[in-house]
Amino acid sequence: MTQPRKSRPTPPRAQVRALEGFCHAVLLAAGADEATADAAVSAMMHGSRLGVDSHGVRLLDHYVRALRGGRIAAAPKLRLVSETGATASLDAGHAHGALAAYTAMDHALRLADQFGIGAVAIRNTSHFGPAGAYAIRAAERGCMGLAVCNSDSFVRLHDGAERFHGTNPVAFAVPVAGERPWLLDMATSAITYNRVQLHRSIGADLPTGVASAEDGTETVDPDGAAMLAPLGGLFGFKGAGLAGMVEILSAALAGMRFSAEILPMSGPDFATPREMGAFVLAIRPTAFLAEDTFAQGVHRYLAALRGSAARPGATVMAPGDREWAEEKRRLAGGVPIDPETERAFRRLGREYGVEPPFG
């Protein structure tokens, strides 16, 4: 259980529309073109609306540094470099990862309209934030969507004592007739690196079993977390194996860098593009069976899942249930802003003449 390390004041909250406007204005002022700002804000707000704060607006300051340093192209030229049937490769031109992933998923959806399935490998991209944002793009258009991306090494192997894989997220979304999509969005590490940063910002210990010190021994101190554990605890080979799958889809299939070859997200070099890869997939269910049959099958599955017996004091939820409930609360009551992000917003607001979205 996470324990507080020091007293924590109630964080300020920002209304969703004001937060979105602030982030967009700052990115434009930092030199991003409209397409980059739109995509980056859409992805960050997906995280912040759904309660995935590690991949929400707290990334704004990082993206500004990457834009100003030149790591991310402020006005990239994205182009398809190959296309064969239902597959394609997109060279993102060192674009912001969200612009690259949204562009690739939109093309995968066009391929799925034609072939029933569409897959796009992405090269020369960068950090893309919450993978679920791109999987959801497919579900909103009636398709199942998969999005994966590798990242710089910060996760040890099972029984390992050095960084090897990145957090290598996997997101999969499924349309559900009359409901919000079924949404799985997970790192293949026990937690994400941004979650470590968030715990550091709010002054909280990490959960047990999720991070290691430099020598590979377990630690709950976010300041001492030199690497993360793979998903699975005592069975961490499962998380390490999933991370390897993401590595192959993202890097090997796109001809890009493996995790150990990617420059660290945290710098100090913010000038050199990171040459990352990613992969998206869209599947149109009606290519396999009638739309009603698929919809009824998904509803039958979800009804059985949510009706399954729960442990005392617990509730059984489908992937996405918690996030959609949190989104409803945040749309009404605002998004909490952690102390580190509040300080960054106030600094960015002064620097670019943009009023922060809170008092």
CATH number at residue 80: 3.30.1370.60
Segment 217-258, tens digit of pLDDT: 899 999 999 999 999 988 999 999 999 999 999 999 999 999
Q: 219-247 burial, b if ≥16 CB within 10 A, otherwise e?
A: bbebeebbbbbbbbeeebeebbebbbebb
Give me the number of domains the chain comprises: 1
Q: Evaluate whether residue 213 is within a structural domain.
A: yes
* pLDDT (0 to 100) of residue 2: 45
Angstrom CA distances, 225 to 137, 193, 195, 210, stand at: 34, 9, 11, 9
In which band, very low, low, confident or very high, does the pLDDT at 343 lie, cut at 50, 70 and 90?
very high
Domain that holds residue 241: 14-322+336-352
Segment 323-341, tens digit of pLDDT: 999 999 999 999 999 999 9
Q: Evaluate whether residue 43 is within a structural domain.
A: yes
Q: Evaluate whether residue 4 is within a structural domain.
A: no
In which band, very low, low, confident or very high, does the pLDDT at 1 lie, cut at 50, 70 and 90?
very low
**What end-to-end distance do the CA atoms of the chain give, in Å?**
32
Amino acid at position 276, single letter: M
Q: Evaluate whether residue 6 is within a structural domain.
A: no
Q: Evaluate whether residue 358 is within a structural domain.
A: no
Q: Evaluate whether residue 89 is within a structural domain.
A: yes
* pLDDT (0 to 100) of residue 215: 86
Q: Evaluate whether residue 105 is within a structural domain.
A: yes
Q: Evaluate whether residue 330 is within a structural domain.
A: no
Answer yes or no: pTM beyond 0.85: yes
What is the DSSP secondary-structure string of 21-83?
HHHHHHHHHTT--HHHHHHHHHHHHHHHHTT-GGGTGGGHHHHHHHHHHTSS-SS---EEEEE
* pLDDT (0 to 100) of residue 314: 95
Segment 129-183, tens digit of pLDDT: 999 999 999 999 999 999 999 999 999 999 999 999 999 999 999 999 999 999 9
* pLDDT (0 to 100) of residue 264: 94
**87-91/117-125 β-pairing:** parallel
- Residue pair 175/142 in contact (Cβ under 8 Å)? The answer is yes
